[in-house]
Amino acid sequence: MFNQQTLDKLHALHLQGMAEAFRAQAAQAGITDLSFEERFALLVDQQWSWRQNRALERRLAKAKLRHRASVEDIDFRTPRGLDRSLVRSLIQDSGWVREHFNLFLIGPPDPATLCCTSLNF
């Protein structure tokens, strides 16, 4: 009964990710071996991930992309002249990401002339 009240309060606070994690923890055997801080950190991490995933889903739905492409699907084995480290630096926490710049790659990449132009809409 105490767990149900906690779940109801988490939903009322719009903490659905944390509620899911709390429900999963209650069903896990051996979870009580973890300290309070560790269990709480797992709940907070789940809430954080849940919100990030929801935001990404919302942005993808709003973009109405025709193709389901992602950076993870890039095949670097094909000889196209793509620089793996350059692509990785553009997608990770870089200045491009922090500044919300858009990147357009048009046509086949030529390593000698590949440059990036930032456009901010």
| Tens of pLDDT, residues 64-118 | 877 777 777 788 887 777 788 887 777 776 676 777 777 666 666 555 554 544 4
Q: Which domain holds residue 106?
A: 69-121
The reported pTM is 0.57
Same domain, 63 and 97: no
Q: What is the CA radius of gyration of the chain?
A: 21
Of the candidates 48, 67, 86, which is a domain's last residue?
67
User: Which residue carries 């790659």 as its tokens?
Assistant: 105
Q: What pLDDT is recorded for position 120?
A: 46
As a whole number of angstroms, the distance between CA 25 and CA 32 comes to 9
Return the SS3 of 105. Answer: coil
Q: Is the Cβ–Cβ distance between 78 and 49 less than 8 Å?
A: no
As a whole number of angstroms, the distance between CA 74 and CA 60 comes to 18
Same domain, 2 and 61: yes
| Tens of pLDDT, residues 33-59 | 989 899 999 999 999 999 999 998 998
Of the candidates 67, 82, 112, which is a domain's last residue?
67
Same domain, 34 and 44: yes
